[in-house]
């Protein structure tokens, strides 16, 4: 329920309208007119509203919050016209079965009312002309933006010019999962002036271990509805916008156009390829990451710097892509996603600061293994026949994998390849942890010299494997882009070896 009124607010009547047998808690917020502001006495306030728009926006806000808290009922009343000190200007009530939901829902409505409603306030001061004031600013937000970010501005690579670049930047974060949450938090802290969040999903309990913007009480709520106020609270000097919808072909161009940089924090390749293609077309830098189990991949795509996704021999079929690097529903190490999300924020900030090309990961693919704490840089060269890197938009079939030669190969299909040679990309620590044939050749993933030398042998088909499948797929794509077409990656990664102690505890037929 939402209402605008020029009459004094009858709090008892509104409380009665909210009362219901299934509610166990009522939280009430009353915004009063005070007799001072900014060190000056206040004798009267005037509230002026764009009535039709305010009524519509207020009703939409209440409906959104009630949808986010399914067992909660909200009433919000806002005064218009002339008010004297001591009168109630805003009344918000929230009832719920549990007090936590009532508190959180009421707080969300309070913050969003100030930000979204087209209501303006004019203060009257003794002996002075009345002045319009900004309803969205609290006294505690009076700290200048320069002081808020002074420790970052003190870096010689940032400075005052960098602070202003960040304040003027417009950044789009697509996806508020394990990647998007830390990325958005650090971008807000860095002082990005306009931060837009896009995600059509809701908070799920199984995701809380890595989606650090959310709490257990947020389960079931729209991610954007919870994330945007939290980020505004962290940095009141920036604008945070939220779009509670998926990015699709219908809205992507409007969202991407004019951005300083875009962060792809999604978990599906349909959106990932859409953002990649559109950002290259519009000349907007894209920071992209993916995580699978313990490993992550990071790329920065800027037109004219390094190869694009199609330069790496990326397969056209989403089925293959989803098998490596899609964390939707798959096992995932929470800190691994956090590390990659923070790296995305770092790369985005460097792009905004216009740091030299050598300091930005625009020419390499970064492989991050949080199990062994190793980072591998793979060169991502421009492919001569790549249409994107030549300035065209369409992707002909010649650039993608041949239909009869997919990138991934199942273990059961190895016998169909011509003289398959299996090469494990494992560190010394991993060799004893995962099952592999004794005769299999092993290479350290960071030993690119040995890998390139092995790939130069045209007499065999190279099949790369690694513990989780992400590292081998990335390396295989790089080798294909370099002209070696008879290179594959083993789908699914390697099985973990069964510990001896576990085998002793489960002898015979025990599972």
Long-range contacts of 410-417 (CB under 8 A, 24+ apart): 410/491, 410/492, 411/490, 411/491, 411/492, 414/463, 414/490, 417/461, 417/463, 417/488
Q: What is the CA radius of gyration of the chain?
A: 28
Q: Do 232 and 111 touch, CB atoms closer than 8 A? A: yes
Distance CA(147)–CA(385), nearest Å, equals 50
Burial per residue of 309-346, b for 16 or more beta-carbon CB atoms within 10 angstroms, e otherwise = bbbbbbbbbeebbbbbbbbeeeebbbebbbbbbebbbb
473: three-class secondary structure by DSSP: helix
pLDDT tens-place values along the chain, 511 residues long: 999 999 999 999 999 999 999 988 999 999 999 998 878 899 989 898 888 898 999 999 999 888 888 889 999 999 999 999 999 999 999 999 888 889 988 988 988 888 888 888 888 988 888 888 766 555 444 567 777 888 888 899 999 999 999 999 999 999 999 999 999 999 999 999 999 999 999 889 988 999 999 988 788 888 998 898 889 888 888 889 889 889 988 899 999 999 999 999 998 877 888 899 889 888 999 999 998 888 899 999 998 888 888 777 664 444 444 444 444 556 788 899 999 999 999 999 999 999 988 888 888 889 999 988 888 888 888 877 776 676 544 443 333 333 335 677 777 777 777 667 788 887 766 666 665 665 567 877 667 677 777 766 656 678 888 776 667 777 777 677 666 667 888 776 666 555 433 333 333 333 3
Distance CA(101)–CA(66), nearest Å, equals 10
Residue 501 has a pLDDT of: 39
Question: Where do the domains of the chain lie, and which CATH numbers do they carry?
Answer: 2-141 (3.90.1170.40), 147-399 (3.40.50.720), 408-490 (3.40.250.10)
Residue 169 has a pLDDT of: 94
Residue 476 has a pLDDT of: 77
- CB proximity list for 392: less than 8 A, separation 6 or greater: none
Residue 411 has a pLDDT of: 75
Other beta carbons within 10 angstroms of residue 406's beta carbon come to 19
Q: Using CA of residue 134, residue 137, residue 143, residue 148, what is the dihedral sign? A: negative
Q: How far is CA 359 from CA 157, 300, 338, 355, 400, in A?
A: 11, 11, 21, 7, 30
Residue 388 has a pLDDT of: 65
Distance CA(384)–CA(370), nearest Å, equals 34
- CB proximity list for 200: less than 8 A, separation 6 or greater: 244, 245, 246
Residue 139 has a pLDDT of: 46
Q: What does the H/E/C string look like for 10-79?
A: CHHHHHHHHCCCCCCEEEEEEEECCCEECCEECCEEEEEECHHHHHHHHHHHHHHHHHHCCCCEEEEEEE
Beta bridge partners of 463: 422, 488
Distance CA(365)–CA(361), nearest Å, equals 7
Burial per residue of 363-394, b for 16 or more beta-carbon CB atoms within 10 angstroms, e otherwise = bbbbbbbbbeebebebebebbeebbbbeeeee
Residue 128 has a pLDDT of: 86
Residue 90 has a pLDDT of: 94
Residue 346 has a pLDDT of: 96
**CA-based nearest residue to 399, from 390, 386, 413, 389:** 386
Is 0.85 surpassed by the pTM of this model?
no
Residue 99 has a pLDDT of: 87
Residue 314 has a pLDDT of: 60
């Amino acid at each position: 329920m939402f209402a605008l009124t020029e009459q004094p607010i009858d709090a008892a009547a509104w409380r009665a309208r909210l009362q219901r047998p299934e509610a166990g808690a009522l939280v009430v917020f009353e915004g009063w007119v005070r007799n001072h502001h900014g060190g000056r006495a206040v004798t009267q306030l005037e509230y002026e509203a764009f009535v039709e728009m305010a009524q519509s926006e207020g009703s939409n806000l209440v409906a959104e919050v009630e949808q986010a808290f399914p067992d909660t009922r909200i009433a919000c009343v806002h005064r218009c016209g002339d008010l004297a000190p001591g009168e109630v200007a805003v009344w918000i009530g929230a009832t719920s079965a549990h007090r936590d939901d009532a508190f959180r829902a009421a707080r969300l409505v309070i913050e969003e009312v100030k930000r979204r409603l087209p209501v303006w306030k004019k203060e009257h001061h003794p002996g002075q002309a009345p002045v319009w004031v900004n309803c969205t600013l609290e006294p505690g937000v009076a700290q200048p933006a320069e002081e808020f970010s002074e420790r970052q501005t003190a870096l010689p690579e940032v400075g005052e010019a960098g602070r202003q670049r960040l304040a003027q930047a417009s950044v789009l974060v697509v996806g508020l999962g394990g990647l998007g949450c830390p990325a958005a938090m650090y971008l807000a802290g860095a002082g990005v002036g306009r931060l837009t969040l896009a995600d059509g999903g809701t908070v799920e309990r199984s995701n809380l271990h890595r989606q650090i913007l959310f709490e257990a009480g947020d389960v079931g709520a729209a991610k954007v509805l919870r994330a945007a106020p939290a980020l505004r609270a962290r940095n009141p000097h920036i604008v945070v916008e939220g779009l509670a919808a998926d990015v699709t072909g219908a809205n992507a161009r409007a969202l991407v156009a004019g951005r300083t940089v875009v962060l792809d924090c999604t978990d599906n390749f349909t959106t990932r390829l859409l953002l990649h293609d559109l950002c290259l077309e519009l000349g907007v830098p894209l920071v992209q990451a993916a995580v699978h189990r313990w490993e992550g991949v990071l790329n920065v795509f800027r037109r004219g710097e390094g190869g694009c996704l199609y330069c790496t021999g990326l397969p056209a079929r989403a089925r293959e892509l989803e098998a490596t690097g899609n964390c939707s529903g798959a096992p995932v190490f929470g800190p691994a996603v956090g590390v990659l999300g923070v790296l995305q924020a770092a790369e985005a900030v460097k792009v905004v600061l216009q740091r030299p090309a050598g300091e930005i990961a625009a020419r390499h693919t970064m492989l991050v293994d949080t199990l062994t704490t190793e980072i591998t840089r793979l060169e991502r060269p421009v492919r001569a026949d790549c249409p994107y890197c030549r300035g065209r938009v369409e992707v002909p079939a010649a650039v993608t994998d041949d239909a009869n030669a997919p990138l991934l190969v199942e273990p059961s299909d190895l016998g169909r390849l011509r003289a398959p040679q299996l090469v494990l990309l494992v560190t010394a620590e991993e060799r004893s942890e995962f099952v592999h044939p004794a005769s299999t050749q092993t290479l350290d993933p960071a030993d690119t010299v040995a890998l390139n030398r092995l790939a130069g042998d045209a007499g065999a088909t190279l099949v790369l494997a690694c513990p989780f499948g992400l590292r081998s797929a990335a390396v295989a794509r790089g080798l294909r882009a370099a002209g070696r077409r008879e290179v594959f990656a083993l789908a699914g990664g390697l099985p973990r070896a069964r510990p001896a102690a576990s085998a002793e505890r489960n002898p015979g037929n025990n599972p």
